[in-house]
Amino acid sequence: MSASEKAKALAEQALGKVKKEAGRAVGNESATAEGSAKESQGHLRGAKEKAKDAFKK
SS3 readout for the chain: CCHHHHHHHHHHHHHHHHHHHHHHHHCCHHHHHHHHHHHHHHHHHHHHHHHHHHHHC
**Type of residue numbered 57:** K
pLDDT at 55 over 80: yes
Q: What is the CA angle 42-8-3, rounded to 5?
A: 125
Instruction: Name the pTM for this structure.
Output: 0.83
What pLDDT score was predicted for residue 3?
A: 81
Least confident segment among 5-9, 24-28, 32-36: 5-9
pLDDT at 30 over 90: yes
